[in-house]
Chains A and B, each alone.
Chain A
Amino acid sequence: AQSVTQLGSHVSVSEGALVLLRCNYSSSVPPYLFWYVQYPNQGLQLLLKYTSAATLVKGINGFEAEFKKSETSFHLTKPSAHMSDAAEYFCAVRASGNTPLVFGKGTRLSVIA
């Protein structure tokens, strides 16, 4: 079975500072990993995905994530936080085949001016 653990339910950073949101996965098969962002009262928006190609994945809005098999991690980073990055972020995992995504509990990112 697949699962993800997001460390830290709430992360607060200053505008312009590094954003680091942590995600560790558990999977019995090579996983497909995703990061989604959700703004208040809106649906999910895909930030980036890992599908066993490059281990460093670049996404939208300046975000990127690195797949580290040895650490079973897929942490999300952004060099410089912007006020508009304040939102809820979800890490998710999916096994191969026609299976649903399994989501982490989410991390709320606050950006302080």
Chain B
Amino acid sequence: GAVVSQHPSWVICKSGTSVKIECRSLDFQATTMFWYRQFPKQSLMLMATSNEGSKATYEQGVEKDKFLINHASLTLSTLTVTSAHPEDSSFYICSAPGTENYEQYFGPGTRLTVT
């Protein structure tokens, strides 16, 4: 099946710094990727839809200037958390749609801890 990777798998950063998370589709092309955030003991919430060659679409309440998304190629989308604060600590998961049965392929997630 299709594989989506994320890097890094976990990161600790200091408050005020920026962190970049990469999401790659390893064996297929993805013109669209989705970014989710999951707080402890909660469900996944869609943050934004990343579109290759155009601007990302953000969900209501998500600060686009804080969570910068760049879909650089058909296999890579990046999420940059700018000026991170402790409340940004979360599990970030990306996914890409498959071509069959309307499935999505999920990355393993990135755990961000801001100190």
Residues of A within 8 A of B (CB): 32, 34, 41-44, 46, 49, 51, 90, 94, 96-98, 100-106
Q: Are A46 and B103 in contact (CB under 8 A)?
A: yes
CB distance from A109 to the nearest CB of B (A): 14
With both beta carbons as reference points, the residue of chain A lying nearest to B4 in the complex is identified as A43
B: which residues have CB within 8 A of A?
32, 34, 42-46, 49, 93, 95, 97, 101-104, 106-109, 111
Judging by beta carbons under 8 Å apart, are B102 and A94 in contact?
yes
Are the C-beta atoms of B104 and A94 separated by less than 8 Å?
yes
A90 and B44 in contact (CB under 8 A), knowing A43-B93, A98-B97, A100-B49?
Answer: yes
The answer to whether A44 touches B93 (Cβ under 8 A) is: yes
CA A97 to CA B101, docked complex, whole Å: 10
A32: B residues at CB distance < 8 A: 101-102
Q: From A50, which residue of chain B is reached at the shortest CB distance?
A: B101
Question: Does the CB pair B102–A96 fall under 8 Å?
Answer: yes
Main secondary structure of the interface of B (DSSP, over half): strand
Q: How far is the CA of A49 from the CA of B106 in the complex (A)?
A: 14
| Cα distance A97–B102 in the bound complex, in angstroms | 7
Contacts of B45 in A (CB 8 A): 103
Determine how close the nearest CB of chain B comes to the CB of A30; give it in whole angstroms: 11
6 smallest beta-carbon distances between A and B, as pairs = A43-B108, A51-B101, A32-B102, A100-B34, A43-B109, A103-B44
A41-B111, A42-B108, A98-B97 known; A49 vs B43 contact (CB < 8 Å):
no
Do A100 and B104 touch (CB < 8 A)? yes
Alpha-carbon separation in the docked complex, A32 to B34 (Å): 17
Q: Return the chain B residue nearest A97 by Cβ.
A: B102
Q: How far is the CB of B34 from chain A (nearest CB, A)?
A: 4
